[in-house]
Chains A and B, each alone.
Chain A
Amino acid sequence: MTETAAKFLTFRISGQLCGLEIPAVQEVGRGLPRLTPTPLAPPEVLGLAYMQNRIAAVISLRRHFGFPPLMTSGKPCYILVENKAELYALIVDSVGEVGNFSPAPDAMTARLGTGWRGAMAGVYLAKSELLGALDLQRIFAGLGIAKEHA
């Protein structure tokens, strides 16, 4: 985690402002892709989809963080990221803008709430709130794919 200002794509999960550093993001889109369910996979895996001529795993960040499904009529959005040559579509509530953010002083990070803070790679200052920088590696570890598989 860098302590200098960084460029993030911002998005929301259950009201919380989150961000992903721009180089990690491959594509952003609205709506869910056509899903093939994957029985026996971890619950946050909604399924597989054919995106960018490749097979992507579709992951609900709401489920990952333990929130109920999005109830409003608004369409969720997906953010495509890559990990170890595999494609992942992260489903979020809405995607905001791209901007530069400075790290939040340590004293303020506590305001993010313990649940969020533990899951984030860093906390940054947005206009009137805090932005949690998503820790992708931790998410992948939660899917059981952090270690090299046999």
Chain B
Amino acid sequence: MDESLQEFVVETRESLGALDLELLRLEKNPKDKELINRVFRLVHTVKGNCGFLNLPRLENVTHHTETILGRYRSGALEVTPDSASLLLQSLDRIKAIVAGLAETGQEPKGDDKPLLALLDLATLTATPASGIAVLPPPAPVEDIAASVRLSLATLENILSSVSELVLTRNQILQGAGTATLELKAHIARLNRAVSGLQEDVMRARLQPLQAAFAKLPRMVRDLAADLGKKIKLELEGEDTEIDRQVLDLIRDPLTHLVRNAADHGLEKPAARIAAGKHAEGRICVRAHHEGGQVVIIIEDDGQGLDPAAIGRKALEKGIVTLDALRGMNERQVRQLIFTAGFSTAQAVTAVSGRGVGLDVVRANIEKIGGTVDISSEVGKGTQFTLRIPLTVAIVPALILSVGGTPYAIAQSQVREVLRLRRNGPQRIEDVGDEKFLRLRGTLIPLVSLQSALGLDATDADTRQGCVIILGEGRQAYGVIVDGVHSTEEIVVRPVLSLLSQQRLYSGCSVLGDGCVVLILDPAGIAAAGGIDLARVTEEKPQAPVDTGPPPQPLLLFRESGHNYALPLRQVWRLEKIDMSTVSEVGGLIVTEYRGRLLPLCFLHGRPAGRAKMLVLQEDAVPRAGLVIEEVTDILSARIDDGAGEGILGTAVINTRAIPVLDASVCIQQARGKNA
């Protein structure tokens, strides 16, 4: 049994001994508040530990017990002899599970549903039904799992060993230049093995989102009761897998958004009927994979976010000035709800008014490299879209430098890197005190990393540095740095606590050469540079609502002189490829990629020498490589239906129609289905 579990068993047994006595005392003095508080705290501690150790059964029983105790504590329910014996029963169940844990190191199998149902019933009714002492014996559950149970601690240890291995591999690769040919071959094999291992471990850490979804139905039911609303919760895509660590980090934001939808989004039944809607409100939480990310959509069919109301509120709270507000479009006004200190509720309710605002939700999501977006229609409902990276522990990062010091930034957050040249196409323009970059007709606000870091600015912007474009679409902003050096897979370690107050850093890591780097947090840079992401102004107001399909991010590239586009979400990575290293296997042309064979697809025959390869993905897995000349741009455009085999349609870019390829067709071609 692992150490933390052992510790838990010992501690819990101690608490349970105390709990027994307290409960018996409680039965005699049902009104003793202090006693109820003590019992509540004991159960709460046990429950808290369950979560860390992944003991779902124990967690469930303690959670329900805690809920009913919470009602006693708040005075909503009174302790009766019946309910006391029910509490003792759940205590016995907790003891039995802990005893099983002590024996086998695993939770024993069993069915807690009848007990939980009774607890729930007792929670809901003021005087629980009598005769609850009789419970059917728990039915044995068949064990059909064809898998091995692995303690989380073991998995974490494996991951940290693999992380060290990745680091060492990187160090070896850097020194490989001077190695003998034989040694180089060994290093190449090591490299492949480590990459494969890394991927496998990352996959082993994936867990279905279910763990984060499981608590929602219960919460929504409680909320509906508390708020006097009728709410139907629909969950979809619970089996979508995500890294365990990321899962833990999105649990709170997700809960918060659902709570927010129930509390602020949905109207009371009377108001809904008056608005011609069904009395029962609907909250829908859907998850799916998209381009190496997990997308979670939280949607309600409530009153929607009224820009006018938000604007008024923001003015009242002093979050925005009247002038700034006048210059905003609806979308930007809606983004104001993510500002610290904002709350749209007319009255602070017990449900949402906990001092935790949507700004915290956004900060937490962005901390792990994700994004939050809102769309809403007044009277129809609101939709929050979270985009979250699959894993965070090892990420491809861009290494840049400022003042001679390297820094890292997660590549998933970088939209584009531009090199500034004197008289180059990209120029910096001064608008008042602020600097902007004119990029494809749009003004993008700039932040100097040097000044954001509080370093002496030595005219950083006039030097021939680089601009890193961060942020999506109209919220894009540029960060001026001295130079961009390389990309490296880095192991993300938590930022040391003495730096944790600095929003600029989201973590740290060690580079291949043993140098420590700080990982920059884009939101922190924006804040330090005085860029309010909700307030970034746009040049051209959005055109009135169009009936066509929404624009989507496209990657433009050139091959043999022709221009093509691919939906960005179908592209995994851009890699260099040396055509002399590809080989033919079973009639397919393949290259080695991350320890596996990747079939290649060619649009205009096989080139010679060095080229580039777009790694195409399906279901977040690299499936094939598309050999191209070069990437020319990444932008958002609308795809219009267009006839043609293997083509999704055409996109009109700078008045030219460019065919948008369908990655799945390329993948099929690479796999010889059509070759």
Contact = CB atoms under 8 A, between A and B. Distances in A.
Pair from one complex: yes
Interface of A: 34, 36-42, 45, 47-50, 53, 55, 57, 84, 86, 143-145, 149-150
Given A36-B405, A48-B508, A143 B518 contact: no
B428 to A, nearest CB: 23
Given A86-B496, A145-B500, 7 more contacts: A34-B515, A40-B453, A40-B454, A48-B496, A50-B515, A55-B496, A144-B501
12 contacts: A34-B514, A36-B515, A37-B405, A39-B453, A40-B499, A40-B502, A41-B499, A49-B516, A53-B164, A144-B498, A144-B501, A149-B500
Nearest to A148: B497
A33 to B, nearest CB: 9
Nearest to A59: B498
A18 B164 CA distance: 36
B491 to A, nearest CB: 11
A145 B494 CA distance: 15
Interface in B474-529: 493, 496-502, 504, 508, 510, 514-518
A86 B494 CA distance: 10
Contacts of B406: 36
A36 B501 contact: no
Contacts of A143: 498
Interface string B279-309: 0000000000000000000000000000000
A142 to B, nearest CB: 10
Interface in B388-410: 403, 405-406
B431 interface: no
A53 to B, nearest CB: 7
B493 A39 contact: no
B517 A42 contact: no
B133 to A, nearest CB: 43
Contacts of B499: 38, 40-41
- Nearest first, the 4 A-B pairs at minimum CB distance are A39-B453, A36-B516, A48-B516, A145-B497
Contacts of A42: 498
A42 B508 CA distance: 17
B498 A45 contact: yes
B455 interface: yes
Contacts, number: 56
B529 to A, nearest CB: 14
Contacts of A49: 516
Contacts of A38: 499, 518
A50 B498 contact: no
A55 to B, nearest CB: 5
A36 B453 CA distance: 14
Contacts of B516: 36, 47-50, 55
Nearest to B504: A40
B122 to A, nearest CB: 36
A57 B518 CA distance: 12
B461 to A, nearest CB: 18
Given A36-B405, A40-B454, A40-B504, A57 B514 contact: no
A143 B502 CA distance: 13
Interface-central residue, B405, B497, B501, B502, by most chain A CB under 10 Å: B497
A47 B496 CA distance: 11
Contacts of A47: 516
B148 to A, nearest CB: 29
Nearest to B450: A39
Contacts of B453: 39-40
Contacts of B496: 48, 55, 57, 86
Most buried by B among A84, A145, A150: A145
A55 B510 contact: yes
Most B-side CB within 10 Å, residue of A55, A57, A84, A150:
A55
B64 to A, nearest CB: 29
Interface string B631-647: 00000000000000000
Contacts of A145: 497-498, 500
A48 B496 CA distance: 9
A54 to B, nearest CB: 8
Contact of B518 (A45, A48, A150): A48
A37 B505 CA distance: 13
A34 B515 CA distance: 7
A149 B501 contact: yes
A50 B499 CA distance: 16
Nearest to B503: A40
A41 B500 contact: no
A150 B518 CA distance: 19
A50 B501 contact: no
Most buried by A among B496, B504, B510, B514: B496
A86 B497 contact: yes
A142 B508 CA distance: 22
Nearest to A53: B164
Contacts of A41: 498-499, 502
A57 B455 contact: no
A65 to B, nearest CB: 17
Nearest to A140: B498
Contacts of B515: 34, 36, 50
A145 B498 CA distance: 6
A41 B497 CA distance: 11
Nearest to A83: B497
Contacts of B454: 39-40
Contacts of A150: 500
Contacts of A37: 403, 405
Contacts of A34: 514-515
B69 to A, nearest CB: 26
A114 to B, nearest CB: 27
A45 B516 CA distance: 14
Nearest to A51: B516
A47 B404 CA distance: 14
Interface in B128-173: 164
Residue among A39, A42, A149 with most chain B CB within 10 A: A39
B514 A50 contact: yes
Nearest to A45: B498
Contacts of B501: 144, 149
Nearest to B514: A50
B510 A50 contact: yes
A51 to B, nearest CB: 10
B447 to A, nearest CB: 14
A150 B406 CA distance: 27
B497 A36 contact: no
B1 to A, nearest CB: 22
A21 B393 CA distance: 36
A55 B518 CA distance: 11
A56 to B, nearest CB: 8
Contact of A36 (B493, B500, B504, B517): B517
A149 B495 CA distance: 12
